[in-house]
Amino acid sequence: MPLDFDLTKTLDEHLVEFRKYLESIDPECTKILFDNLGTLKGDGNPTRARANRATFNAAVLSQLKALTPKKAGS
């Protein structure tokens, strides 16, 4: 399944397509990404944005480590 971007589509439409594309490659990692993606939304404050990225990174890392060793290493 190729990933194509259409300039007539909205960001939300592209996110749906991106998610489908990633799920075709690795459903578990896709779930981890999208379960935590909302953490990155902010209000433009750089200090809170850094904190949000740190929270996102820690959550994703923790969940990736919880995957089976074979899956995490592939």
pLDDT single digits (tens) 17-49: 999 999 999 999 999 999 999 999 989 999 999
Question: Domain coordinates of the chain in residue numbers?
Answer: 11-68
Q: Six-digit token pair at 56?
A: 């996102």
pLDDT confidence bin for 5, thresholds 50/70/90: confident
At residue 48, φ and ψ (nearest 5 deg) are: -70, -35
With beta carbons less than 8 A apart as the criterion, state whether 42 and 48 touch. Answer: yes
Distance of CA 70 to the CA centre of its chain: 21
Q: How far apart are CA 41 and CA 39, in angstroms?
A: 6
| Distant-in-sequence, close-in-space partners of 37: CB < 8 Å, separation ≥ 6 | 56
pTM of the model: 0.78
